[in-house]
Amino acid sequence: MRPIEMERTKLKWLDLNRGTINVETAKCGNARTLKLKSQTLAMLKDYITKHNFNLNDNLFPPVKTMRSVYTKIRKRTAKKLKKPELLKVSMYSFRHYFATMLYHKTKDILLVKRQLGHKRLETTLIYTHLVNFQDNEYHARTATTKEEALKLIEAGFEYVTEMEGYKIFRKRK
Mean pLDDT of 88-94: 89
Tell me the angle at which helices 109-116 and 91-106 cross, rounded to the nearest 10 degrees: 150
pLDDT-above-90 percentage for the chain = 42
Q: Is the pLDDT of residue 133 over 60?
A: no
Query: Mind listing the pLDDT tens digit for each residue in 71-85?
Result: 999 999 999 999 999
pLDDT of 76:
97
For residue 136, report the phi and psi dihedrals to the nearest 5 degrees. -105, 20
End-to-end CA distance of the chain: 31
Domain ranges of the chain: 1-81, 90-133, 138-172
Is there a contact between 169 and 153 (Cβ–Cβ < 8 Å)? Answer: yes
Q: Spell out the residues 6+ positions from residue 50 whose beta carbon is closer than 8 angstroms to its own.
A: none
Q: How confident is the model at residue 91 (pLDDT cuts 50, 70, 90)?
A: confident
pLDDT at 130: 58
Give 109's pLDDT tier (boundaries 50, 70, 90).
confident
> For residue 26, which of 40, 44, 9 has the smallest C-alpha distance?
9
Alpha helices by DSSP H, listed for the chain, are 3-8, 38-51, 63-81, 91-106, 109-116, 121-127, 146-154
Q: What is the pLDDT of residue 10?
A: 93
